[in-house]
Amino acid sequence: MKLNWFTRKGLIYWPASIIGWVIFVLAIAYAVYTFIDIDGRSHSGSDTMINFVFNLLIIGLVYTIIAYFTEARPQITTTDKE
């Protein structure tokens, strides 16, 4: 079963299907929710950013792992020329 949810453009994985877009939007929504939650409990701007950047890296890592295993890879064909 081939899962073609994402395509790779340089270092970034772009959604290539509806499921890919759903995962992308959920990752962005969770990042925004995490920022609002951390900002509500923080005492300063630097405290907010330090905690948010760590969570953003975790979200980005999970997104990248999902995208890596579900990307559309080009088919490599070998032709035998004799």
**Percentage of residues of the chain with pLDDT beyond 90:** 68
- The range of the structural domain enclosing residue 54 comes to 6-69
Domain count, the chain: 1
Q: What is the pLDDT of residues 49-65, one digit of tens each?
A: 999 999 999 999 999 99
For residue 48, being part of any structural domain is answered with yes
The pLDDT assigned to 55 comes to 95
* Model confidence band, residue 80 (pLDDT cutoffs 50, 70, 90): low
Strands 6-9 and 12-15: antiparallel
For residue 62, being part of any structural domain is answered with yes
Token pair for residue 11? 């270092």
For residue 33, being part of any structural domain is answered with yes
Reported pTM = 0.81
Query: Is the CB of residue 14 less than 8 Å from the CB of residue 6?
Result: yes
For residue 56, being part of any structural domain is answered with yes
For residue 20, being part of any structural domain is answered with yes
Residues making up the chain, counted from first to last: 82
The pLDDT assigned to 82 comes to 55
Q: What is the pLDDT of residues 27-41, one digit of tens each?
A: 999 999 999 999 999
